[in-house]
Chains A and B, each alone.
Chain A
Amino acid sequence: MARPPFKKILIANRGEIAMRVLRTCREMGIISVAVYSEVDRPTLHVRYADEVHCIGPPPSTESYLRIDKVVEVALEHKAEAIHPGYGFLAENPEFARACRDAGIAFIGPTPEALEAMGDKVGARKSMSSVGLPIIPGADPTLKTDKAIISAAKKMGFPVMIKAAAGGGGKGMRIANDAEAMPSLLKAARSEASTAFGDERIFVEKYIPAPRHVEFQILADEMGNVIHLGERECSIQRRHQKLIEESPSPALTPGLRTQMAEAAVLAAKTANYTNAGTVEFLLDGEGSFYFLEMNTRLQVEHPVTELVTGMDLVKEQILIAGGRKLAYKQSDILHRGHAIECRICAEDPDNNFLPSAGAISRLRHPLGPGVRMDSGIYQGYEVPLYYDPLIAKLVVWAEDRPTAVLRMSRALSEYIIEGVATTIPFHRWVMNHPQFKKGQYDTHFIADHYKPEEIDLTEWESAAAVLCALLTETDTGLSRPTEQVDGQKESYSPWKFAARREMGRRRV
């Protein structure tokens, strides 16, 4: 194990990703500093870290997004580096710059790379200039509705309207004809403006039934760039990823090589350092298009870790410490198949509405090939202030069919009571014949998921029988039953032993 480049690292995040980074810090012998908002005082990352500091009230704008406070804590407590996790400040160039100005290493790319890749319009332009395939689109500098609509007509409908500063599906609209454009443009601008403070939008050709395939990149400060293979992320709902797997069932070896080379070229073009992800859209004919580059550790990074056997957080820390990559491309080997299910506090029977509340019962799945990344515990209050992602269930197996069965098995063991979760949804996906065959695209959920059609008769019957039995014998509330499980007395070895003991005494 390489000597760690830092003695102390601050983790500017919460929940499962804070736990993920903390674990690697502990393995590397690095002292960890956690920050937390007032509502997170009892949570796992606060209890796990070596040093902890409160940085403000629950709303993230007053705590986890406060660049000044995070940097101040790092300076005061002599953290030499900051890991931003994902979300919050992870892709904020101002934050990376503030770290640099304070003499603290930002565990991620440079502020310049964050800026360049954060501007989706600019990123497309620079990638296109080095020959990366880009989805046919209108000149992104077009401003008036008239000019945009006439460009869309030339391109041919349907077209996709996207936010220039976008991400996470915000501001995206699909227009099927010119008549629908004016109102969609207006809606997209207003959503982009509220979400990113930047109302610029652009249009591009809409690819029906695409797959979302992304490549993991590692790049050191000496200009060495390698890729760790792809992740298939086409199981999405409203552009939010729900299930990811690696390798992608859609890639042939030839296509994989082509896309990987494109991803490495993209990273080099961006002068990229640290861990990053190059996202592509893949159409039904095997043509792929550069979508964007994600300049952070991704939520779905564990699937790559399981098939490569690498620790991406460790690599990030080593790169940020100025180390040369310890691997050449030929050292990276892929083995088996990994799948991740994002477990969210959302109700899959009810339009995926967020579900806040306390987790009254929790049993994580265990057994062969199962990995749990989570920040929850029995008694955890799911707060409304943050992302609804509460846990990531990841499995590895020797091949895809086995991995799907394993995920199904792990999901059946998973017990989270007190809030609605997406566990039943994931169970449905794992049982779907098309998912099992690996034949799906980004419209899979919208086209196929109909919660009202899921047959619950079996578990409902069992629940009904249980309640009837408990009511009949007036139990289940406080006192144990004699009638329902009449065997109970004779089956209890403790009572049996005690009675024998008493009998002896009597004799």
Chain B
Amino acid sequence: MKYIAEIGEHVYTIEVTHEDGKPKVSLDGKPSQVDLCEVSPGALYSLILNGNSYELWARHTDEGWEVFGGGRSFRLQLADERAHSIASLRRASQTKTEVVAVASPMPAQVVEVKVSPGQEVVKGEALIIVEAMKMENELTAPRAGKVREVLVEPEQGVEKEQALIIIE
């Protein structure tokens, strides 16, 4: 079966076939040597990929896969080829009208709002500064767009996941 894995904006194609009861893998079209050992069931795996050793933890949740390895967590969406193309078609038809809310990642206090409604912003541009854990944190635009609404003002306390700024 052919799978498409999406990690953030990166896409990897993996084809798994079987030969003599053993899996064979091709990664982005390149045949790869693979050996998987389940160290602790449903959690810790030792993967040898083209002779390189990777220690990985994997967990499947409702939102997809969560994999931890190399000191980082990866959120991974995996779909077989057909499901993937349906999903991306659906997304493509949505993006035009999509609005995104920039939310506070934690309970915090608003320090400064750096944008106003109607303003064009680029991806990564600082939108708002909130303070938590005694530190000021800059929240940035997840993508380019126009500020539709600013929902909070300085010195206001906000909850985790509370929407602060809407971008369209």
Contact = CB atoms under 8 A, between A and B. Distances in A.
Contacts of A498: none
B41 A469 contact: no
Interface of B: 1, 3, 5, 7, 10, 12, 14, 16, 18, 21-23, 25, 27-28, 32, 34-38, 41-42, 45, 47, 49, 52, 54, 56-58, 60, 65, 67-74, 76, 78, 105-107, 132-140
Interface in A194-252: 238, 240
Given A354-B137, A417-B68, A466-B67, A457 B57 contact: no
> B3, B21, B136: which has the most chain A beta carbons within 10 Å?
B3
B10 A459 contact: no
B140 A351 contact: yes
Nearest to A457: B10
- The secondary structure that dominates the B interface is strand
B77 to A, nearest CB: 9
Contacts, number: 158
Contact of A411 (B47, B71, B105, B140): B71
Contact of B133 (A386, A460, A470): A386
Contacts of A353: 105-106, 137, 139
A414 interface: yes
B56 A464 contact: no
A415 B56 CA distance: 10
A387 interface: yes
B67 A352 contact: no
A467 B65 contact: yes
A480 interface: yes
A470 B105 contact: no
Interface string A464-507: 11111111110111111101111010000000000000000000
A268 interface: no
Contact of A483 (B5, B18, B27): B18
A137 interface: no
Contacts of B69: 459, 462-463
A360 to B, nearest CB: 9
A412 interface: yes
Contacts of A463: 5, 7, 56, 58, 65, 67, 69, 74, 76
B112 to A, nearest CB: 9
B57 A465 contact: no
B45 to A, nearest CB: 6
Contacts of B3: 464, 467-468, 471-472
Contacts of B71: 411-412, 414-415, 423-424, 427
B38 A480 contact: yes
B61 to A, nearest CB: 10
Given A420-B73, A456-B72, A477-B42, A387 B5 contact: no
B16 A478 contact: no
B106 A356 contact: yes
> A353, A388, A415, A420: which has the most chain B beta carbons within 10 Å?
A353
Contact of B49 (A387, A465, A481): A465
Interface in A340-371: 351-356, 361
A459 B135 contact: no
Contacts of B37: 485, 488
A384 interface: yes
Nearest to B107: A384
A466 B38 contact: no
A468 B14 contact: yes
A469 B23 contact: yes
A489 B114 CA distance: 60
Contact of B27 (A388, A465, A467): A465
A369 B35 CA distance: 33
A467 B67 contact: yes
B34 A361 contact: no
A481 B38 contact: yes
A475 B139 CA distance: 38
A45 to B, nearest CB: 19
B78 A462 contact: no
Contacts of B57: 361, 417
Given A351-B140, A468-B78, A478 B42 contact: yes
Contacts of B12: 460-461, 464
A71 B27 CA distance: 64
A465 B14 contact: yes
The 4 closest A-B pairs by CB, nearest first: A464-B5, A459-B70, A468-B14, A463-B67
> A457, A475, A476: which has the most chain B beta carbons within 10 Å?
A476
